[in-house]
A and B are shown apart, each in its own frame.
Chain A
Amino acid sequence: MSGSSEKHNVGLFVTCLVDLFRPSVGFASVKLLEDNGCLVSVPRAQTCCGQPAHNSGDKKNTQTLAQQTIAALEGFDYVVAPSGSCAGMIKKHYPTLFAENDPWKKRAEDLAAKTHELVSFLTDVLKVKKVEAALEATATYHDSCSGLRELGIKDQPRKLLKSVKGLKVKEASQAEACCGFGGIFSIKYPDISNAIVTTKTDDLESTEANIVLGGDLGCLMNIAGKLKRQSSKLQVRHVAEVLADMTDKPAIGEGEEG
């Protein structure tokens, strides 16, 4: 818990995948932030950070979506996203989208400076050392590429997971290897994507963990989708769900039947 009596005004950037596919991750994020001294708002005008357009080389749509996102998220102390790739897009790429003399460039830089991925925001900014959560399970962690290589997210989730009562963490031998999602890549080159995700799921299975955690829903849906196709018992969740002690909803790709 943050010791300060002053609450931080945080704008939650939900991310399109959380908004559309797994709102429980959004609620878990809000809980973690509120439990640690934040007043959370969710601007309605947000949709997508524009990363898919950016990676596809569509400069025009990227810029439009960036401007929309910037305008929606200005005015908070911090902006937090439960995704390394979306936070990375805003922090590392938004400022590069605008020319030197363009007023949007400064607005992008200002937003970039106060935007964070969720878990690293808790540990690095709010100085959270532990969470109040319990889960009897052995987890293994998948380091999503953008979070790891653009934002340096590696130790932070592991640090907080240590404080989850009953949870053991076993490292996969190639935790930092790409899962083969890559956005549109996964449907443009499905066979290559499949080869890569199979290597990843083999590695995850070999840890003999019963749950896979990570910070990016795109990766997690890709991994879960493959595991389910393989009839694997390995469950997949967003790390926020475990840290917020909100694992009541079915895991990714599972329904009421399990």
Chain B
Amino acid sequence: MSGSRQQILSNLRKSLGRGPLDEAKVKELEKNMRRPKNRVVPARGQIRGAKRKELFIQMAEACDCSVVQVASLADVPKAAAEFLRDNNLPASIRVAPHEDLKDLGWSENVSFGLAGDDDPVGLTKAWAGFAESGTLMALSGAEGPTTLNFLPDTFIAVLEAKDLLGTYEEGWKKLRGRKQSGTFMPRTVNWITGPSRSADIELTLQLGVHGPRRVHILLVDEDK
């Protein structure tokens, strides 16, 4: 099989009409990879402040998320409970063991940790959001078990306005800013744009295929 590796590489080079790249070229390409450049970035997400928030809410609602603004993290438990009540959903929530979520004063209906198979509601803290598309960005890790984004029927994401970004480029830039044990990339980066859906049966759009049927976003903004 290592024979195949060499065979494939040498076939590629033969097709390109050359041998392995020379050192100077390799250095140039490596340098470019170390300093990634933004490419074409649409104007839409390149906004700040209230306009950015407005756009995020508009785009998130357009892909079937619901969005409610709360003034602070302390309001999250109440807002989550209200949402579940208003929609006749079960009151018990599985919450991600995030340090910003742990001590908010939850009721007894709440437990922390990974999603079990039959947790009807999951709640996590989004690492970022993108106004460009109404997308949530979540990183895997102890504070954000990836399964919690997918297994429960209802998914509630807490997003602080300070973590709301305009474009995907800003997300990668922010991610590169972390340096954890040698790499900034966690095992899983999820961009979530709405509830799970499929149009596989007769092109009829349906929500909640494998992932959550409902995505509710609690947007925390003191300048509400």
Direct contact between A and B judged by beta carbons closer than 8 A: no
User: Which A residues form the contact surface with B (CB < 8 A)?
Assistant: none
User: Which B residues form the contact surface with A (CB < 8 A)?
Assistant: none
